[in-house]
Amino acid sequence: MSIRHSLLALLSEGPKYGFQLRQEFEASTGEIWPLNVGQVYTTLQRLERDGLASSDDVEDVERQKNYRITELGSVELSRWLRTPPDLSEPPRDELVIKVLVASRLPDVDVYEVIQVHRRYIVQLMQQWTHLKEDESHFDLAFALAVDAELFRLDAVVRWLDAADGRLHRAALEPAPEDHVALPSIRRRTGAHR
């Protein structure tokens, strides 16, 4: 999550103070990503340095600095919104590695390992779901963010289910080239990390 660009987006609505930016950031992301004031000001200073935002030069310590977006900042925001995140390379996912390792260790019940993770994730999902259960203070931004998290976790559960099924099937009819599967994935995707 780019705080930089989120702050730029907030500034594109009009000039804002630092504290106000922090509040609006939290509100717009459904208050699920807490942000401390320090982070806000560091980011704002960087934006100013890069010429994406400007502030009125107020010497008065009592008054807060009022930040506004620059033309360059608007261009950068527009570019960023349309740039797809880099999904081409598989992230080095800890869970994937754990399951892969568990599947190769003879003394470990890989299904049990999978289930531990599955339960944990479902519990996480339960927590997120309970957050949106109460519709009385419905918040669109919050709902979108919670959905994103739920779908992400759901994908993990699904992967666990698929892994479970695949391992199960492989155990029933062991494939001879099982041990070369991992290197071949690397080669094909060209991941070097």
Partner 1 sequence: MSMLELRKISKSYGQGANEVDALTDIDLSVERGSLVAIMGPSGSGKSTLLTIAGSLEEPTSGDVVIDGVRLSGMSRNDKARLRRRSIGYVFQDFNLLAGLTAVENVSLPLELDGVSLKKARSKGMEALERLGLGDRATNYPDQLSGGERQRVAIARAVVGERSLLLADEPSGALDSLNGEAVMRMILSACHGGVAAVVVTHDAKLASWADRVVFLRDGKAVDETLPPPTPEELLAPDVPNPA
Of residues 116 and 191, the one with the C-beta less far from partner 1: 116
Residue with tokens 């930089």: 4
**Cα pseudo-dihedral 155, 156, 157, 158, rounded to 10:** 50
Q: Give least dist CB 122 to partner 1, A.
A: 5
Q: Give least dist CB 150 to partner 1, A.
A: 6
Touching partner 1, residues 60-119 (CB under 8 A): 111, 115, 118-119
Q: Side by side, which strands form the sheet with 66-69? A: 16-17, 66-69, 53-55
Secondary structure (3-state) at 168? helix
164 is an interface residue for partner 1 by CB under 8 A: yes
Of residues 100 and 122, the one with the C-beta less far from partner 1: 122
Phi, psi at residue 173, to the nearest 5°?
Answer: -130, 90
Structure letter (DSSP) for residue 84: P
Residues in contact with partner 1 by CB under 8 A are: 1, 32-34, 111, 115, 118-119, 121-131, 133, 135, 149-151, 153-154, 157-158, 161, 164-165
